[in-house]
């Protein structure tokens, strides 16, 4: 819970970003008065994405005088349905939303059902970053990541579902570190923590915010971190000696960790109207009330402006042929 904060440096950087955003024309500034803005959340009610989505929608409504912001949950296909809806919406600035950054994997792998191009979307901003961690149960024999790398028997890793972002990322680190792993699907949310405590599984690759309290309560330990400010005593993936391909795989996972809880609209939103949305979003996530509510929900707040997100997404999509081929290979084993 103590990690959830917005530093003075972040606020300063945010104010600079806001000051350098191109001003909107008067007609764009007044456009939202009396209008309804739909905020699509690519999951069902409940969970982290719904939490952030509703918090962002509520805060943005305050920053768009006269507008009404409504949340529309569109679950299905691992966030693909919701992302498709946002991408295919009219580019009038009245539909935006959020989905899993792991859809970068789906796009690169040319996964069936993907009708979006993330590089072309109108990026509004991000609310957080969430480092990836490998967590093990305290009752397991693994005291460090080296123990996992040296294990003679396959280590039991859980995932929610085959084809999910967690599945892809677990597969990527398995290849990068040449691990012996058995991936066991079907564990969602708190089921993972209970399964670790029961000894059904031994390890999981997930977001740091998801496991802070679990580790603090003594049930698990972090043995590897990818992205974010280094945790004391935890191995950092980006400092380990690896070959070029393995470093690229780790850097790709790290890119997903650094850009999280995104908000985007369809391609082609006119620049002035997008500037209004970005300014409203920037002010919303910098609002002390927003930060307080995030803190109460145990969710990290580490915002970034729309232009920064645009550049990060495009860079993440620009992968070498061998990584593209491997992601397609993973995707082919799913279907």
- Which pLDDT tens digits describe the chain residue by residue (335 residues)? 334 334 444 444 444 444 444 455 557 889 999 999 999 999 999 888 899 999 999 999 999 999 999 999 999 888 999 999 999 999 999 999 999 888 999 999 998 899 999 999 999 999 988 899 999 999 999 999 999 999 999 999 998 777 777 888 999 999 999 999 999 998 877 889 999 999 999 999 998 888 988 999 999 999 999 998 899 999 999 999 999 999 999 999 998 888 889 999 999 999 999 999 999 999 999 999 999 999 888 787 889 999 999 999 999 999 999 889 999 888 877 65
Q: Using only C-alpha atoms, what is the Rg of the chain? A: 20
Burial class of 267 by CB neighbour count within 10 A (0 to 12, 13 to 18, 19+): middle
Q: Class of the 132-254 domain? A: alpha beta
Q: Where in the chain is the domain with CATH 3.40.190.150?
A: 8-129+259-334
Q: What pLDDT score was predicted for residue 245?
A: 92
CA distance 22 to 25: 9
Query: Between the CA of residue 32 and those of 26, 27, 92, 93, 203, what are the distances in Å?
Result: 11, 9, 10, 9, 47
Q: Which CATH class is domain 8-129+259-334?
A: alpha beta
Neighbours of 112 (CB within 10 A): 11
| Residues carrying CATH 3.40.190.10, the chain | 132-254
pLDDT of residue 5: 39
Residues 6+ apart with CB under 8 A from 228: 129, 130, 131, 208, 257, 258
pTM of the model: 0.80
């Amino acid at each position: 819970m103590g990690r959830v904060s917005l530093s003075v440096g972040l606020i300063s950087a945010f104010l600079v970003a806001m000051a350098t955003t191109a001003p909107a024309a008067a007609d764009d500034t007044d456009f939202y008065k009396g209008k309804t803005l739909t905020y699509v959340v690519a999951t069902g009610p409940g969970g982290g994405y719904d939490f952030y989505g509703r918090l962002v929608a509520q805060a943005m409504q305050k920053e768009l005088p006269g507008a009404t912001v409504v949340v529309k949950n569109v679950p299905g296909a691992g966030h693909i349905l919701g992302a498709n809806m946002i991408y295919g919406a009219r580019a009038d600035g009245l539909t935006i939303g959020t989905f899993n950054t792991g859809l970068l994997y789906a796009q690169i792998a040319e996964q069936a059902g993907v009708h979006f191009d993330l590089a072309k979307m109108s990026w509004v901003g991000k609310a957080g970053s969430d480092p990836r961690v490998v967590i093990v149960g305290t009752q397991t024999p693994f005291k460090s990541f080296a123990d996992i790398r040296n294990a003679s028997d396959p280590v039991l890793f859980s995932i929610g579902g085959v084809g999910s972002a967690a599945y892809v990322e677990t597969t990527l680190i398995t290849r990068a570190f040449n691990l012996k792993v058995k991936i066991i699907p079907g564990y969602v949310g708190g089921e993972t923590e209970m399964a670790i405590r029961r000894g059904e599984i031994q390890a999981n690759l997930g977001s740091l915010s998801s496991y802070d309290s679990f580790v603090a309560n003594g049930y698990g330990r972090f043995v590897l971190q990818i992205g974010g400010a280094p945790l004391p005593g935890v191995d950092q993936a980006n400092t380990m000696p690896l070959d070029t391909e393995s470093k690229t795989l780790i850097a790709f996972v790290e890119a997903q960790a650094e850009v999280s809880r995104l908000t985007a609209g369809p391609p082609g939103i006119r620049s002035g109207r997008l500037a209004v949305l970005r300014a409203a979003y920037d002010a919303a996530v910098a609002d002390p009330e927003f930060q307080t509510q995030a803190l109460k929900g145990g969710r990290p707040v580490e915002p970034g402006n729309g232009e920064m997100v645009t550049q990060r997404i495009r860079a993440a999509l620009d992968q070498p042929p061998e990584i593209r081929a491997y992601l397609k290979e993973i995707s082919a084993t799913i279907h």
